[in-house]
Structure 1
């Protein structure tokens, strides 16, 4: 720094130039103390003015440091303080389940069952369960047993960020439920995993137990609907076949009562026996008649008696044969017509009985198939009970927030530098 001399120090207006301290110029007098103080004060003022004129690089560094503190450090410190001191600790409970067929496989089908575990027919049921777990219907079912609003909004005044607000609407409750209830579904193997966050570990475990119970009821409803679809048609077909069989049997019963014939087949056998007996008697009488004619004359009373007997037997045979051939000496419907009507009714009864038997077998098979294809909920991970709170995680969350803040600050600062460089 140059020496303080009267040559480089400007005196007040109207005042003589100041001399250098200890100089022997024309004045040949040393500076007084007041003059030395004045010179030093003016010199310090000039130095202060020069120090205020910063370079552009110094200004940018100052603004960068200030913005980093405001936009990065302060949010990280505020977030960490909130998460560590203000946020209410919460606990996680987890469970997992899938659906399985109710039928049992043989020992030789173990590998087939293992390959069938993850696909095929169980996909539809798992998709329905997954949709139910994400639907408001599950929340409505749980609210019948648990006061979810009271649990999640109990300390909302202390922690308004991570807890439910007081007096929430139905939409607010559904949005908050989506934040605390996570559902993971792997369509490749049909596994469904649930994770619930709550202030109390016992409460979280109980709610997941209720979720499993509600899922079981939903699966039972699916099985019931599938059973009705499978068995309902078979039951309807059986009812129709049974009604048809009853009508055919009633017509047969009316026929038997009207004609006094239980079974025309038995009647035919009986009449055939009568014809056979009459033919045998006629042959015997004719033999006796021929033998008697050889030994006696035509006027013998025994010959006339045998002749009359032959005539009676032949008339009886003619009457019996007439009944078979269509005539009915006793009046009424002919016997062939009776047999024809009976055979038609018997065919109707047999056909109706066969249809009823087939419908009954179809119903039995449908019930067995429905029972075999019914599903049940297989829980492979019962609801857990947390020992320590896992939410929020102050350090991890602060690091994540800090990373986003640093990234946003860098992007903003680079944009600022690019815009300022274009001026």
Structure 2
């Protein structure tokens, strides 16, 4: 097997021609002189061409695009905050009320609702609501003034239109400040302003709808409790009226007290009449007319007393087949039930009024700190910054690729 060791030729080796003058010696393999390849020169040319293709060319294209082709876009911003009505309550305009009005809210409800508004702005329903409000979103996003690279077709799908919406309409909630920043971009200043105002109005409607929904739910629950209490009170009142109609006594307790008083008076009158009759019998004799009158009066009083006594033990006219004691017991039970139902109804009315006042205090609304205004000049895109970003990204990619290529080449 021949020796494959590469060695450099000596100055004068028999049988081999001398190296031409002015050229470097060439390596020898198995006694054969190999051709000379300028490796370092080829590497330097490859690095130069790769730099031109990867870095210089994209930078030139970006310069041409951002300086002469791209359509400038106008940006409109608005800064708003979601507030709760109770946060505006104070001592009449002092420092505490000013802080409550302008400072970030510490309640969890405005924070949650603010994040909800951000998600709403970045959704298809927001785009549809703006269109329903009268703003032609499709004509703004598919404007013929846009450059061919970013221009949308007028018959683009809803998904493509929504992608353009998300790139032209931005919303961000800053938790530390408690404010919501809305920014819109369009190819004319008037369209950008109209888009910002429409998005802001749609967000305010959403905040009002959420507040109204919460208030409606709380008031619905309060009204249900009031209706339940009213039905309970009406049922107790109807049962009491039915009992009074059946028993024939408006107030059994008063009727019983009146009967007792009458019976006591009759007993007193009877005692006086018996005493008078006995005195007349002893003085005038049994045949005296005065004694006969006094005895007749005593008998009449005794009959009345017996009738009054029977009234307290017999049924009330035999109409309810219940004794007077049972009537009194049933009346007390119905009176207690009616009193409890009335108290429950009164409490329900008070709770409903308190819920109504609390809902009015907790009403959420949008406070506009920075209203959208008409832009005087285009602010997007920034040509210098965009070109630098393209050049820097291309340079980093070229450097990493070159280093990786040389690392692999040196190991082979």
Q: TM-score of the superposition, structure 1-length normalised?
A: 0.79
3-state secondary structure, aligned to 1:236: helix
* Correspondent of 2:62 among 79, 83, 93: 79
Residue in structure 1 matched with residue 159 of structure 2 by the alignment? 171
Residue in structure 2 matched with residue 298 of structure 1 by the alignment? 286
Q: Structure 1, unaligned stretches of length 5 or more?
A: 1-45, 48-52
Residue in structure 2 matched with residue 149 of structure 1 by the alignment? 138
Note if 1:106 corresponds to 2:93: no
The worse-fitting range, judged by mean Cα deviation, of 261-270 and 114-123 is 114-123
Task: Tell me the distance in 1 between the aligned counterparts of 2:98 and 2:193.
Answer: 35
3-state secondary structure, aligned to 1:121: helix
Quick check: 2:316–2:324 contact (8 Å CA) kept in 1? no
> Relative to 1, partners in 2 of residues 1:381 and 1:169: Cα closer, same or farther, differing over 3 Å?
same
Note if 1:91 corresponds to 2:74: yes
3-state secondary structure, aligned to 2:108: coil
Task: Tell me the distance in 1 between the aligned counterparts of 2:330 and 2:348.
Answer: 27
> Relative to 1, partners in 2 of residues 1:111 and 1:95: Cα closer, same or farther, differing over 3 Å?
closer
Residue in structure 2 matched with residue 265 of structure 1 by the alignment? 253
Quick check: 1:89–1:199 contact (8 Å CA) kept in 2? yes
Q: Deviations over 1:31-82 (max 9, x none)?
A: xxxxxxxxxxxxxxx99xxxxx995444433333333223222211211111
Note if 1:396 corresponds to 2:385: yes
Bigger Cα Rg:
1
Q: Deviations over 1:377-419 (max 9, x none)?
A: 1121111321100112221111111111111121222233333
Quick check: 2:135–2:198 contact (8 Å CA) kept in 1? no
Count residues with an aligned counterpart: 371
Q: Deviations over 1:211-236 (max 9, x none)?
A: 12211221222122212332222211
Quick check: 1:285–1:306 contact (8 Å CA) kept in 2? yes
Q: Structure 2, unaligned stretches of length 5 or more?
A: 1-20, 23-35
Residue in structure 2 matched with residue 15 of structure 1 by the alignment? none
Task: Tell me the distance in 1 between the aligned counterparts of 2:224 and 2:308.
Answer: 49
Task: Tell me the distance in 1 between the aligned counterparts of 2:316 and 2:409.
Answer: 132
Task: Tell me the distance in 2 between the aligned counterparts of 1:271 and 1:189.
Answer: 79
Residue in structure 1 matched with residue 179 of structure 2 by the alignment? 191
- Shift in Å at residue 166 of structure 1? 4.1
Note if 1:343 corresponds to 2:332: yes
* Correspondent of 2:47 among 47, 52, 64: 64
Quick check: 1:90–1:199 contact (8 Å CA) kept in 2? yes
Quick check: 2:117–2:206 contact (8 Å CA) kept in 1? yes
Quick check: 2:78–2:196 contact (8 Å CA) kept in 1? yes
Task: Tell me the distance in 2 between the aligned counterparts of 1:405 and 1:116.
Answer: 43
Note if 1:161 corresponds to 2:149: yes
Q: Deviations over 1:171-228 (max 9, x none)?
A: 1112121212222122344321111110111211122211122112212221222123
RMSD over aligned CA atoms reads: 2.7
Quick check: 1:119–1:188 contact (8 Å CA) kept in 2? no
Residue in structure 2 matched with residue 40 of structure 1 by the alignment? none
Quick check: 1:322–1:328 contact (8 Å CA) kept in 2? no
The worse-fitting range, judged by mean Cα deviation, of 289-298 and 305-314 is 289-298
The worse-fitting range, judged by mean Cα deviation, of 401-410 and 230-239 is 230-239
